Amino acid sequence: MTPKDDKTDELCIPKDEACDYLKFGLDAADFIDTELANLKEQGILLPEIEGRVKKMRRKLKAAEKKWELSHE
């Protein structure tokens, strides 16, 4: 990964790796959701983290959809 240009913080990710990064992020969100559910069963509530995971998942899903549309 290299900087796109000096005016932005965006990174250039090779196209073949981009989908892998998105899938890894979604897998991580699934794992975190599972662990949060286990903690909730034990009576431990972490609403701030749950909110962050939901936000992360929405962003990843949107990025995945955008990536799929740009590579059809």
Let me know if residue 54 belongs to a domain.
Answer: yes
Q: Determine the straight-line distance between the first and last CA of the chain, rounded to whole angstroms.
A: 23
Q: How many domains does the chain have?
A: 1
Does residue 6 form part of some domain? no
In a domain, residue 9? The reply is no
- 7 located within any domain: no
pLDDT digits (tens, 9 = 90+) for 16-59: 677 788 889 999 999 999 999 999 999 999 999 999 999 999 99
3-state secondary structure of 56: helix
Helix (H, G, I), strand (E, B) or coil at 13: coil
Q: If DSSP codes are grouped into helix, strand and coil, which group holds residue 11?
A: strand
What is the extent of the structural domain holding 20? 14-70
Is residue 2 pLDDT above 80, yes or no? Answer: no
Q: Is residue 2 a part of any domain in this protein?
A: no
- What pTM did the predictor assign? 0.67
